[in-house]
Amino acid sequence: MPENFTYTLEATDGRARAGRFNTPHGDLLTPVFAPVGTAATVKAVTPVQLSEIGASLVLANTYHLYLRPGDALVAEMGGLHEFMQWHGPMLTDSGGFQVFSLGENSKISDDGVTFRSHIDGSTHHFTPERAVAIQENLGADIIMAFDECADPYDYEYSQRAMQRTHVWLERCLEAKTRDDQALFGIVQGGIHPDLRAQSAEFVASMDTPGIAIGGLSVGETKEEMHTTLDAVMPLLPENKPHYLMGVGTVEDLVNGVARGVDIFDCVLPTRLGRNNAAMLRNGGRLNLKNAPFADDPNPIDENCTCYTCRTFTRAYLRHLISAREMLSATLLSIHNLHTLIHLTQEMREAIQAGTFEETFQDLLVA
């Protein structure tokens, strides 16, 4: 394991964990939620605003940055931290999920994936080695192994994809050259407990600095997600951070932490922000486009301390939306990101105090 990356388990409450993961750009206090900056920008929010919200980790996307502006250019500009002026810890995914999401525009083999760009239709080929090389150019602190995300309900496909993912992890580890990046292996296996157990045991045996759980929040039910996590999480090493990829509702974060997850990311809070919706701490949402908010003098959430709720009324936000002013996306994204980031901080404090289940009982699912 690279010396730059160590995980310290600081407190537990049931299976919920509070920890600290060291990276070259600062410590991550877990549980932690990472805003997604797909194309080296968290949509509608500046890096300064992210810092003010309390963000400590930002995710960027290998597939999108490879296509535009190109990973070589990002490297020439000093890497992602310098390019986008975010100087805290960063994570890049491998591009696997995006490539496989292209459907008929991608062709998978044991060597890798050939795909057509969604931008201009040009043909490209990703291998595990190429995915690592691109991420080394991008320069994030945490990088991901190239994996295959299968239909969660198709057992045979999930098994083939899991086996390929394991081989690709070995190839990624062999290809990796930078000691200042932590490469996480990814557990796959659909919603099938036996496959997930096989995958968890294999990835754990590779002794990567952290372990991700992929292939969830891709169409399965919440109950199936929880059952899958119940099968996987007890098999993961306690001395490594556990990262649940692409999950980002209030309920998902609370129930993930309850099962031992440390790191989350999702596009949901900024996507909702661009579509007029505000997330609430209790798991609910408000559509600020609705007419009843036109003369509402209250903030989105009177208990929220974000810049938006401290400063603006629902009536003003509704006005911005009706006038199609782009500031609405920024203000709602600030609120939504603040909601999730401070939720993880609140969960950390509750774990340390031994009051996690009591504090979050209304959102927990057995």
Q: Which residues are part of the catalytic machinery?
A: 93, 265
Give the single-character DSSP code of 261: -
Cα separation of 111 and 132, whole Å?
14
Cα separation of 312 and 124, whole Å?
47
Cα separation of 226 and 217, whole Å?
11
146 token code pair: 């190239």
Closest CA to 335 of 27, 87, 91, 44: 44
Cis peptide before 69 (omega within 30 of 0): yes
Cis peptide before 35 (omega within 30 of 0): no
Rg over CA atoms, the chain: 20
User: Counting runs of H as helices and runs of E as strands, what totals does the chain give?
Assistant: 15, 16
**Longest alpha-carbon distance in the chain:** 61
State the number of CA atoms in the 13 A half-sphere of 255 facing the CB.
Answer: 21
Cα separation of 35 and 346, whole Å?
17
Strand extents, DSSP E, 242-333: 242-244, 263-266, 277-279, 285-287
Q: Are 329 and 273 within 8 A, CB to CB? A: yes
